[in-house]
Chains A and B, each alone.
Chain A
Amino acid sequence: VRFTVVGSGASAVHFARSLLEAGHEVEMLDVGLDRPDPIRPEDSFEGLKRNLDDPVTHFLGEDFESVTWPGEAGEYYGFPPNKRHVFARTEDLRVEAKGFAPLLSFACGGLSEAWTGGAFPFSEGELVDFPFGWDELHPAYETVARRIGLTGERDDLVRHFPWHEDLLPPLDLDEHSRLLLEGARRHRDWLERELGCTIGRSRTATLSRDLGDRKACGYLGRCLGGCPTDSLWTPRSGLLDCRRFPGFRYRPGLRVRSFDADAAGLVRSVECERIDGGGRETVPVERLALAAGTLATGKIFLESWRRRTGEDARLGGLMDNRQVLLPFLNLRMIGRAHDPETYQYHQIALGLAAADPRDYVHGLVTTLKTASIHPIVPSLPFDLRTSLGIFRNVHAALGLVNVNFPDRRRDACGMRLGAAAGDEEPPLLVDYVPPSGEAARLRAATRRVTRALRKLGCLVPPGMSHRRPMGASVHYSGTLPMAASGGRFTTTPDGRSRDFENLWIVDGSTFPFLPAKNLTFTLMANAVRMAESISGSAP
């Protein structure tokens, strides 16, 4: 059977690989903007500064596009130039959003090319809204773990992220993370009793030992600029794995706009734009799988629906994780040197328990080491010389907790198409309304995390927490949910559309609930589960 898969992100490559392993053919249609080749992959972060002829262009870009100019609303860290391809050309797809800051990617590998590698399985309690349980997803988690290489430790956080096999030993800790973890273990009982807070090792998709062609993490400190040795798995690596199968064909340079179905509701072809300006192309399909990411998949679905029925539909239930960034200062690290040649992303995770497991709040603790300092220093309320003098002495003590909150499907949040004249491409209109009582929930959780940090000897500067706009976490989901039974704009548990018989939705669109954890690991596992289910029933 030949499947046409749209997109090359985390879901797409695992869906494709499982189909390929089952003997099917896969054609992958993708815009596929590729990254530049890594520069001097043997050099460390500091080594690049010393050895490159033009380090400023490397770190800041030809046009200084990675400088975070003062006065602009920004994050605590920006994207380096060599990750710019992840968000390039997205203006080709017009999105008008209200209450939502949408991010899209046309990169080869999709948005997960810029992920930080957090891989946390959903618990049984978090899966109650899904049409399957832990037992059905568990094998798929292990399949993904074997494919991409995950590190983890069996510690207290097992109560929030179930244990599964095929985990590699954890990465080496940097000194700051080591001190934090030591403190967390010392105050473990107090944290549990007073705050319902569990702190332990994060699980990350970065190799602590070689796996296939990929090398173990060399602790070069270059994670933020894109791992030069592919030790941190990204979907691009998954795509390379797929390309080893003779039944796989990757077709970059195509942006799928819609599909056409016959009178019986069978999808027959997809309409693509050639990004080289070569016009449109119609690609015939036998079975179609949309894995372009929730927004792009929704746009393709809605445009196809409009072409077929003349009806302007709306897909409700859009979800995303609200995130609050909480900077802190570890007093024991003040005046010490930071070590840039360490793993840069989160090594520590924290979980805040809730009576309903779906209300679990998830935190990722990052100790800032090689993030650019020029966006941070001007945020201090002093002149820059004073700010810099303070910062360089507390740099090693700085950390950031990214607190993630769950989201539920609500009709008020969703997407539809805007008006367009003639053959013009309609914009995607996205609406998001925060759930009632959100501010109080954020405050309560932030207070718990703040108290936990204080217990670990950290100072949490007042007024420095940053509530990221909805959309910033890029964990979009929920607009074409899977359910055991349902009507239009839903899918079966194996992702088959109830509106088109040979259409599968295999990305986050199908999630009926969004736990606080990074969903990427579950996207991959669910794609594997769906592909295996389809293969089992395929003729």
Chain B
Amino acid sequence: MSVFLTGATGFVGRRLLSRPELRAEGDLVALARRPLDDPRARWVAGDLRDPAAWRDSLRGCRTVVHLAARTGAGSPTEHEEINDAAVRRLLVEAERAGVRRFLLVSTIAATYPEKRHYPYARAKERAEAAVRASTLDWAILRPTIVLGPGSPVGASLRSLAGAPFLPLLGGGRAILQPVHVDDVAAAIGALLAEEHWEGRIVDLGGPAAPTFAEFLRAVRIEVRGTPGPAIPIPVRPLVAVLGTWERLGGPRLPVTAGQFYAFLHDGVAREGGDARPPLAERRGLAAMVAELGAGDEPRRRIVSPFPPPPQEGTPGDGPAPPVDPDAVLDAECATFTRYLIGAEPSAYARTKYREGHRPGIGGPADLPPSPDDRLVEFARRGPLATRIADTWAGLFARGGRLRRKLVLLLAILESDGATSARVDSPEPGGAVGFGLRTALRGAGFLVSLAVAALAVGLRPRKGGS
């Protein structure tokens, strides 16, 4: 008999492949969209949403271990299709194929008391219900936040902790109970080693449960040596705004309301007595923080989550018209000037902006190509997009091309008598006016920062399985 595994190329799946309990089950059949170059498994290429590709491979399997999931900033439809409907389909096909056991690796988020704007958690909850209703011998594993080498969330947390200041979403009060990926793999292995599951639900967390603020500070000390300043960022208003936006079907943003839920609710495992490995044997918080701080692999380059703008023209329109670089810079100068000072640039400022893009002067043209260049593309869409992209750049790409362009423009605007007053003179209202405006600016910044920070911290992992 053999095991049918989904998500083998993912973060947990890769660690699970080396567990001896998996091999003890017999042959391993692994469904994945990307090639799986592992002699221990037989790769079945296919998408979870397409049963024709993998249906036959279920035959002869005793156990299904279902790891694959869509995480991050997926749309509600994607979450519905991959994290709920596809699981139901897999259950049906497994029952038909004579599979005996079904292990669903779910998430602690499925236990959140409220999931109105969190389609991922809702889908997982429905998938859990489907598993519980099946005729198979089932088990559900609900890990908390999973850290370890290659952890996408861990790398993002490390980057957040290394930022100029700590963005404490929701005040950093939510409790997280991080668990190491090897302990998750060991827990799956321990379940596989058991003969019967008989409807087991296992919450799995690490030995310690710090608040988000405590955890991020600890990582920051590992990364930068000092705790550094922190800024609390309210999350509930943002969730309401983004959730409404999503329900109204607004254009997709780099982050979703659901990605804020981890900062609204405690992600704590309700431990039963039968979770393996025992709590005391799991990787401790200090070890996980140290591993995160040391960065056992090259620090992940934070890739801009901002997608490039849609390409103009459609196939069949013929070759795209040649792009005039000066026209692009002129349009960019106008957008960025509106963003910085709310006015149109003079013809002189546009000329100087173009001159500032000459190669060989250490300006924006002299930076090597970088994934962060997509920030520039995104920022060109308009002043609001520029603001979101710039907030992100201010945190994670301070020396990048977008910041370099904006600083060049700022230097031009302050030197030009036509605009210098708009750049560098107080607004009317004195200290009181300044206080009110600062409060408004602060609120705007916090929203922009939260969108940007979440785009980094919980940006979507590629793929649905």
Binding site for B on A (CB under 8 A): 46, 49-51, 55-56, 58-60, 63-65, 67-72, 334-338, 372-374, 377-378, 381-386, 388-396, 462-463
Chain B residues lying within 8 Å of A64, measured Cβ to Cβ, are 355-356, 361-363, 408, 411
Given A49-B420, A393-B427; A69-B398 close (CB under 8 Å): no
Considering residues A67, A334, A394, which has the most beta carbons from chain B within 10 angstroms of its beta carbon? A67
Given A378-B407, A383-B390; A393-B426 close (CB under 8 Å): yes
- Give the complex CA separation of A393 and B428 in angstroms: 9
- Distance (Å) between the CB of A381 and the closest chain B CB? 5
Considering residues B341, B404, B430, B441, which has the most beta carbons from chain A within 10 angstroms of its beta carbon? B441
Q: Is B340 an interface residue (CB 8 A)?
A: yes
Chain A residues lying within 8 Å of B341, measured Cβ to Cβ, are 388
Contact in complex: A335, B434 (CB < 8 Å): yes
Q: Is B50 an interface residue (CB 8 A)?
A: no
Contact in complex: B165, A381 (CB < 8 Å): yes
- Distance (Å) between the CB of B393 and the closest chain A CB? 8
Contact in complex: A335, B415 (CB < 8 Å): no
- Distance (Å) between the CB of A180 and the closest chain B CB? 17
Contact in complex: B414, A372 (CB < 8 Å): yes
Given A71-B403, A72-B399; A386-B363 close (CB under 8 Å): no
Chain B residues lying within 8 Å of A393, measured Cβ to Cβ, are 426-427, 434, 437-438
Given A392-B427, A395-B426; A60-B438 close (CB under 8 Å): no
- Give the complex CA separation of A397 and B100 in angstroms: 74
- Give the complex CA separation of A60 and B415 in angstroms: 8
Binding site for A on B (CB under 8 A): 164-165, 228-229, 231, 339-341, 348, 352, 355-356, 358, 360-363, 387, 390-391, 394, 398-400, 403-404, 406-408, 410-412, 414-417, 420, 423-427, 429-434, 437-438, 441-442, 444-445, 448
Chain A residue with Cβ nearest B352: A56
Chain A residues lying within 8 Å of B426, measured Cβ to Cβ, are 335-337, 392-393, 395-396
Chain B residues lying within 8 Å of A69, measured Cβ to Cβ, are 362-363, 399, 404, 407
Contact in complex: B437, A389 (CB < 8 Å): yes
Contact in complex: A373, B438 (CB < 8 Å): no
- Starting from the known contacts A51-B417, A381-B164, A384-B394, 11 additional A-B residue pairs (CB-CB under 8 Å) come to A56-B348, A60-B412, A67-B363, A381-B165, A383-B448, A385-B340, A385-B390, A389-B438, A394-B434, A395-B424, A395-B426
- Distance (Å) between the CB of A278 and the closest chain B CB? 29
A378 partner, pick from B403, B416, B423, B425, beta carbons under 8 A? B403
Chain A residues lying within 8 Å of B433, measured Cβ to Cβ, are 335
Considering residues B411, B417, B448, which has the most beta carbons from chain A within 10 angstroms of its beta carbon? B411
- Give the complex CA separation of A409 and B355 in angstroms: 49
Given A46-B420, A374-B411; A70-B390 close (CB under 8 Å): no
- Distance (Å) between the CB of A71 and the closest chain B CB? 2
Chain A residues lying within 8 Å of B339, measured Cβ to Cβ, are 384-385
- Give the complex CA separation of A396 and B424 in angstroms: 10
Chain A residue with Cβ nearest B389: A383
- Give the complex CA separation of A111 and B15 in angstroms: 62
Chain B residues lying within 8 Å of A389, measured Cβ to Cβ, are 427, 437-438, 441
- Distance (Å) between the CB of B332 and the closest chain A CB? 15
Chain A residues lying within 8 Å of B410, measured Cβ to Cβ, are 373-374, 377-378, 384, 388
Contact in complex: B356, A392 (CB < 8 Å): no
- Distance (Å) between the CB of B183 and the closest chain A CB? 36
Contact in complex: B424, A373 (CB < 8 Å): yes
B399 partner, pick from A59, A60, A71, A384, beta carbons under 8 A? A71
- Give the complex CA separation of A377 and B430 in angstroms: 20
Chain A residues lying within 8 Å of B398, measured Cβ to Cβ, are 70-71, 378
3 closest Cβ pairs, A-B complex: A71-B399, A49-B417, A50-B417
Given A337-B425, A393-B434, A463-B229; A70-B407 close (CB under 8 Å): yes
Chain B residue with Cβ nearest A340: B424
- Distance (Å) between the CB of A157 and the closest chain B CB? 31
- Distance (Å) between the CB of B327 and the closest chain A CB? 21
Chain A residue with Cβ nearest B357: A64
Q: What are 29 inter-chain pairs, A to B, with CB distance below 8 A?
A: A56-B352, A56-B412, A56-B415, A59-B415, A60-B411, A60-B415, A64-B356, A67-B411, A70-B398, A70-B403, A70-B404, A72-B399, A334-B431, A335-B429, A335-B431, A337-B425, A372-B414, A373-B410, A373-B423, A374-B407, A378-B394, A378-B406, A378-B407, A381-B164, A382-B391, A383-B390, A383-B445, A384-B406, A386-B442
Chain A residue with Cβ nearest B339: A385
- Give the complex CA separation of A416 and B317 in angstroms: 70
- Distance (Å) between the CB of A315 and the closest chain B CB? 35
Chain B residue with Cβ nearest A61: B361
- Give the complex CA separation of A65 and B17 in angstroms: 55
Chain A residue with Cβ nearest B366: A69
- Distance (Å) between the CB of B168 and the closest chain A CB? 13
Contact in complex: B438, A392 (CB < 8 Å): no
Considering residues B340, B361, B403, B410, which has the most beta carbons from chain A within 10 angstroms of its beta carbon? B410
Chain A residues lying within 8 Å of B430, measured Cβ to Cβ, are 335-336
B411 partner, pick from A335, A337, A372, A386, beta carbons under 8 A? A372
Contact in complex: B411, A65 (CB < 8 Å): no
- Give the complex CA separation of A382 and B388 in angstroms: 11
- Distance (Å) between the CB of A335 and the closest chain B CB? 4
- Distance (Å) between the CB of A65 and the closest chain B CB? 7
Contact in complex: A386, B427 (CB < 8 Å): no
Given A64-B361, A382-B445, A386-B444; A49-B416 close (CB under 8 Å): yes
Contact in complex: A55, B425 (CB < 8 Å): no
- Give the complex CA separation of A49 and B413 in angstroms: 10
Chain A residue with Cβ nearest B364: A69
B400 partner, pick from A67, A71, A334, A396, beta carbons under 8 A? A71
- Give the complex CA separation of A162 and B406 in angstroms: 49
Contact in complex: A384, B340 (CB < 8 Å): yes
- Give the complex CA separation of A60 and B348 in angstroms: 14
- Give the complex CA separation of A373 and B390 in angstroms: 18
- Distance (Å) between the CB of B277 and the closest chain A CB? 42
Contact in complex: B408, A392 (CB < 8 Å): no
Contact in complex: B444, A56 (CB < 8 Å): no
Chain A residue with Cβ nearest B426: A393
Contact in complex: A385, B387 (CB < 8 Å): yes
Chain B residue with Cβ nearest A378: B407
- Give the complex CA separation of A46 and B420 in angstroms: 9
- Give the complex CA separation of A59 and B445 in angstroms: 31
- Give the complex CA separation of A373 and B417 in angstroms: 14
Contact in complex: B417, A55 (CB < 8 Å): yes
Chain A residues lying within 8 Å of B228, measured Cβ to Cβ, are 463
- Give the complex CA separation of A406 and B261 in angstroms: 54
- Give the complex CA separation of A49 and B421 in angstroms: 10
Given A50-B417, A374-B414; A67-B408 close (CB under 8 Å): yes
- Give the complex CA separation of A71 and B362 in angstroms: 12
- Distance (Å) between the CB of A174 and the closest chain B CB? 16
- Distance (Å) between the CB of B340 and the closest chain A CB? 6
- Give the complex CA separation of A383 and B441 in angstroms: 10
Contact in complex: B361, A65 (CB < 8 Å): yes
Considering residues A70, A378, A395, which has the most beta carbons from chain B within 10 angstroms of its beta carbon? A70
Considering residues A381, A383, A384, A386, which has the most beta carbons from chain B within 10 angstroms of its beta carbon? A383
- Give the complex CA separation of A186 and B214 in angstroms: 44
- Give the complex CA separation of A463 and B410 in angstroms: 25
Contact in complex: B434, A334 (CB < 8 Å): yes
- Give the complex CA separation of A46 and B414 in angstroms: 10
Considering residues B348, B426, B444, which has the most beta carbons from chain A within 10 angstroms of its beta carbon? B426
Contact in complex: A392, B416 (CB < 8 Å): no
Chain A residues lying within 8 Å of B417, measured Cβ to Cβ, are 46, 49-51, 55
Contact in complex: A390, B414 (CB < 8 Å): no
- Give the complex CA separation of A59 and B417 in angstroms: 12
- Distance (Å) between the CB of B116 and the closest chain A CB? 30
- Give the complex CA separation of A67 and B362 in angstroms: 9
Chain B residues lying within 8 Å of A388, measured Cβ to Cβ, are 340-341, 410, 423
Chain A residue with Cβ nearest B229: A463
Chain B residues lying within 8 Å of A390, measured Cβ to Cβ, are 438, 441
Chain B residues lying within 8 Å of A382, measured Cβ to Cβ, are 391, 394, 445
Contact in complex: A70, B412 (CB < 8 Å): no
